[in-house]
Structure 1
């Protein structure tokens, strides 16, 4: 039994050396999403840790295997929609991504429950959802005109 315990402990220590990349790419304000302060507060609290290059990493991002899951979620989130590179995303993709974001938020699927559990500020109340919905609708209207 001791050998198994030491083996598991050794594996847990060894996996700490397998580290994902947690560097935030530099944010160019010229291509980052621009919105009024109310919208930005909601986005920064609920969305930016997975959907921007401005991730605020918690202490546990250094602990494997949690770090691996976190890195995968951030990579996936940035691929889905990245507010730090918003202006570099073509209009058709922005339309698709905004519609999808609106749908996920209205259905309570974003932010992810596991994220909201660890980040109480990320919880979207009815007012926050309405703020994002109106902003997304405004963005969609502008994109359709251009």
Structure 2
């Protein structure tokens, strides 16, 4: 019993101490002239889908939920956001070269069609991000239209 209480005691101490490890949750400023939705004059319906399902991880407009302020969960959330921005950051779309834009659009089409995005773990905490089949079709059609036109 003493060992069990010792484990509980030290677990609580470590949990309290890790709360002081800083996590940078700041967002870089967003310039309209680089932002995907403004550069491509994205229709409002598609813009709404992007905002509710993609922007928290794939833009510099992340809205961190309350649970993202508690370590070690905050570390995981920040890691997911960093990875998402690494793969595609809609806030800096204008900085990407055409080949990278094409690749990102193709990957986005595949991910949305295959239900790989938004991540299932994200959907459990953000049910509004669970896209309907119609929303997925609208989003993939929009990306495919951009790809066909070459105006990315």
1:1-146 maps to which residues of 2 (within 5 A)? 1-34=4-37, 35-143=42-150
Number of positions where the alignment pairs a residue of Structure 1 with one of Structure 2: 145
SS at match of 2:63: coil
Q: Give 1:17 deviation, angstroms.
A: 1.0
Q: Give 1:142 deviation, angstroms.
A: 2.8
Query: Deviations for 1:28-73, whole angstroms, at most 9, x for unmatched residues?
Result: 0111012111111000010000000011110011001110010010
> Between Structure 1 and Structure 2, whose CA radius of gyration is higher?
2
- 4+ residue runs over 3 A deviation: none
Instruction: Give me the CA root mean square deviation.
Output: 1.2
Gap regions ≥5 residues in structure 1 = none
Q: TM-score, normalised by structure 2?
A: 0.91
Gap regions ≥5 residues in structure 2 = none
Residues of 2 paired with 1:65 and 1:17: CA distance? 11
SS at match of 1:51: coil
Contact 1:19–1:67 under 8 Å retained in 2: no
Indicate the structure with greater helix content: 1
Q: Give 1:140 deviation, angstroms.
A: 0.9
